[in-house]
Structure 1
Amino acid sequence: MSMFQFPSDFKWGTATASYQIEGGYNTDGRGMSIWDTFSRKPGNVFRGDTGDVACDSYYRYQEDIALLKELGVTTYRFSVSWSRIFPNGTGEVNQKGLDYYHRLVDGLIENGIEPFCTLYHWDLPQALEDKGGWNNRETIDAYVCYAKTMFREFDGKISSWITLNEPWCASYLSNYLGIHAPGNKNLQLATNIAHHMLVAHGRTVKEYRDSGYRGEIGIAPNMTWAIPYTSSPEDKAACLRNIAWTGDWFTDPIYFKKYPRNLLDWFEKEGVKVPVEEGDMDVISQPIDFLGINYYAASVNRFNEGAGLLQSEEVDMGFERTDIGWPIEAKGLYESLHYLKEKYGDIAVYITENGACINDEPVNGRVYDERRANYIKQHLIQIHRSIADGINVKGYMAWSLLDNFEWAEGYSKRFGLVFVNFRTLERTKKDSFYYYQRIAKNGWFESTE
């Protein structure tokens, strides 16, 4: 039997996102977002599901706080719906929207849970999309105004901030592959959007610093780890392109003030260039306090000329897979963390998302989701290894507290520690809830494997 003890100041948490859990889409002055629009178009979301009600957390937030307290976590990562604060993206502040988040944050603090706030988790106000969205540099100004409002309003209450969640998803997945809102399919457009989002990030970090707020601020890209199928230079290069596209493309500009050369050259072959204006890279490269890492899976890849934009083909190695089809390869998290340290130095890291889609249903009122508990254990062991190697991992946030609206998959995929009946909205704690509860409360766990 092996015991894994974590540092006493390690933050144990869980995470959600506004559009995925809140519901109340037209309540108390909230404006429409691109996800409200996208989910209403037939064919975009499985079964035509929308986030209109979701988990109804806009009304049931106190019940969810009680679950967090019972879970024993010390931090809760949530995101703010921009269109609750500015229904039109800019202009007059919607006080009722602010009041909701004050109630949520106050409730967390009263229960000994640190709020960890994500400013942007993909739900751009539709009014801004109508003016060109992130392709329009005016959206950068609107975002910075929104961020300034949140910093000022929650000064003294929230001391941990994430500017952008998974910017690759909000740019390339959404505007090149067209799978997420707003559903465009244009590589140059997606590249413009990725750059503008980074400029917005940098300006926001600078605003936070210049205003003298006490706390920490960072960004949370999704880490795509790819392992070469062979030792050939072509397979290695294909995997590095995979890793760079979701990660380095967004972190190199912050740490090195430049985009990764391998992808710049690759995109230029497609006639795509980054729309860098004078001063942009200085803005983007503002120092951050931490890097958030969203990690779910690793893949084994090889070079294939016919395998899409990056010519990188995933090889089915027979790994166990979650119910969304993602391979379970926890060692990829360990390797990812080492990659980041070797590249960027001794940076502080939070695992801001990590979890498994396991679609187990209640049986006699109980959800036996042992596979999810095993997934959590496997990944925490790799985090423990990384800390033992001297990597500065400060916390872990399980995705997700609740089963929720899983974007284009609608309500068909379940990632929660808590089962949600989307007809009655009743919450049922899964076996994985109790497994993670023991770890969060004790700060250690044992494994017999």
Structure 2
Amino acid sequence: MQKIEFNKDFLWGCATASYQVEGAIDEDGRKPSIWDTFCNKAGAILHGDDGKIAADQYHRYKEDVQLMSDLNFQAYRFSIAWPRIMPDGRGAVNQKGLQYYINLSKELHSKGLKVVATLYHWDLPQALQDEGGWAVRSTAYAFAEYAKVCFEELGPYVDQWITLNEPFCTAYLGYLYGEHAPGIKDQEQAIKAVHYLNLAHGLAVVEYHKLGLEAPIGTVLNPSLPRPASRKAYDEKAARYARAIFTDVFLLPLMGKGYPQEVTKDMHISFPVQTGDMELIAQPIDFIGINYYMERAVVFDESRLFLHREVPSWQRTTNQDWPIVPYGLLRVLKYFDQVTDGLPLYITENGCANDDVPINGRVHDSFRCDYIIEHLAACKQAIDEGVNLKGYFVWSFMDNFEWAWGYSRRFGIVYIDYETQQRIPKDSAYMMRDFIAGYCEF
């Protein structure tokens, strides 16, 4: 028997993203996002799935909030759909879109849950993509305009703000590898997107501070800190290269440390920095969120674009072939603690995909339970070693549209029957309830 105990002020939450759960993509003034467009592209999404209905949270949010309350969650991290608030990306504001998030926030508060709102979780208005998307500088300023509206209108209801979710995925999966919307494969556009996403974050934080709001504001990264596959110096260098291009290009500018030399000098990559940009990006923030799912091993490979190559791992994998490496989370937390000089950290996403099947009205997802317990143990070890970790948000509250995987992968601790929209808490949901209540023995 083992026991994991967290302090009573440790924040326990669950998380989702707008396009993955809301549905209602053409209701109440919302216009298309890049994901609506991408889903209409033949072969882009497994089985041709889309987010038209998803988990229908737009209509069922009261039911979902009640379930969160029943499971003892203390906070809900959701994202605001930019196309609901400013359907054309800038300019006219859609009051019906704002009202939905006001209603959701009020419902959460009525059940005693904190509101943790993410401004951008990938659903860029298509109108802005038509102008070049994140590969053009103007999008960063459009984001600041959108953020200001959210701060002004939703500020009284939000307990914690997040600017961007996983800019790595937006820049690289969206503009380099083409696996996510908008489905572009262009290195130059991807590198521009890295910088303009960083700039968008900084500009939004400037707008926030101008308004004098007091809720904490930060951002969320999904760090990649792969381990070297050997003790050879060049493989250790490969791990540094991978960390630099996938993590440090976002983390270091936030901390006022500029872009890493491994990228600018060794890889000869140039970012479109203008005078004053780096100071804007390094605006004071109150926390950083970390999304962690896996860790891979790498070797040096000078023939590759970023001078490293992933190699097979030995660990168990999820049904997305993601190796399960809980100790990798500890490494990430300690690295962030060091680089940020002890800035408050949150696990804003952690979880796994599993082949879940209801049996007699229950879903016994012991695989996910084990995954979460192992990662919570890593969180506790990090705290014991002095890391300033303040909370944990499980991903995801419910099964949902899993981007390019469509509905074929289930991350939720609540099962969604997509035919009936019935919600069925899985064993992992009840396990989380017990952890939050302080029953942490396993």
- TM interval, shorter chain, is over 0.9
Q: Which moved more, 1:328-337 or 1:433-442?
A: 433-442
Deviations 1:335-374 (A, max 9, x none): 1111122222111100000001111211122111001000
Q: Note if contact 1:35-1:123 (Cα within 8 Å) is conserved in structure 2.
A: yes
1:319 maps to 315
Pair 1:296 & 2:290 matched: no
Deviations 1:60-86 (A, max 9, x none): 111111111111110110000000001
- Aligned-pair distance for 1:133? 1.2
CA distance in 2, matches of 1:139, 1:5: 44
1:119 maps to 119
SS of residue in 2 equivalent to 1:298? coil
Correspondences of 1:265-284 after superposition (within 5 Å): 265-268=265-268, 272-284=269-281
- Aligned-pair distance for 1:197? 1.1
SS of residue in 2 equivalent to 1:445? coil
Q: TM-score by structure 2 length?
A: 0.98
CA distance in 2, matches of 1:266, 1:52: 44
Deviations 1:206-264 (A, max 9, x none): 11112210111111010123111111111111112222222211010111341011122
Pair 1:285 & 2:279 matched: no
2:347 counterpart letter in structure 1:
I
1:446 maps to 441
1:436 maps to 432
2:98 maps to 98
Correspondences of 1:71-90 after superposition (within 5 Å): 71-90=71-90
1:344 counterpart letter in structure 2:
T
CA distance in 1, matches of 2:242, 2:432: 31
SS of residue in 2 equivalent to 1:2? coil
Pair 1:352 & 2:367 matched: no
1:161 counterpart letter in structure 2:
W
CA distance in 2, matches of 1:183, 1:404: 21
1:2 counterpart letter in structure 2:
Q
Percent identity reads: 44
- Aligned-pair distance for 1:2? 2.5
Q: Note if contact 1:292-1:352 (Cα within 8 Å) is conserved in structure 2.
A: yes
SS of residue in 1 equivalent to 2:349? strand
- Matched pairs, number: 442
1:14 maps to 14
CA distance in 1, matches of 2:176, 2:312: 25
1:199 maps to 199
Q: Note if contact 2:253-2:278 (Cα within 8 Å) is conserved in structure 1.
A: yes
1:240 maps to 240
Which structure 1 segments of 5+ residues have no match? none
CA distance in 1, matches of 2:341, 2:137: 32
1:179 counterpart letter in structure 2:
E
- Aligned-pair distance for 1:281? 0.6
Pair 1:408 & 2:400 matched: no
CA distance in 1, matches of 2:308, 2:357: 36
SS of residue in 1 equivalent to 2:390? strand
SS of residue in 1 equivalent to 2:185? coil
Q: Note if contact 1:403-1:415 (Cα within 8 Å) is conserved in structure 2.
A: yes
CA distance in 1, matches of 2:139, 2:301: 38
- Aligned-pair distance for 1:428? 1.0
Q: Which moved more, 1:335-344 or 1:15-24?
A: 335-344
1:376 maps to 372
Which structure 2 segments of 5+ residues have no match? none
User: Over aligned residues, Cα RMSD in angstroms?
Assistant: 1.2
CA distance in 1, matches of 2:85, 2:236: 45
CA distance in 1, matches of 2:356, 2:312: 24
Deviations 1:252-285 (A, max 9, x none): 01113410111222441xxx42000111011001
Q: TM-score by structure 1 length?
A: 0.96
2:345 counterpart letter in structure 1:
V
- Aligned-pair distance for 1:440? 1.4
SS of residue in 2 equivalent to 1:256? coil
- Aligned-pair distance for 1:198? 0.8
CA distance in 2, matches of 1:243, 1:49: 33
Q: Note if contact 2:267-2:306 (Cα within 8 Å) is conserved in structure 1.
A: no
SS of residue in 2 equivalent to 1:292? strand
**Which stretches of structure 1, 4 residues or more, deviate above 6 A after TM superposition?**
none
Q: Note if contact 1:403-1:419 (Cα within 8 Å) is conserved in structure 2.
A: yes
Pair 1:65 & 2:85 matched: no
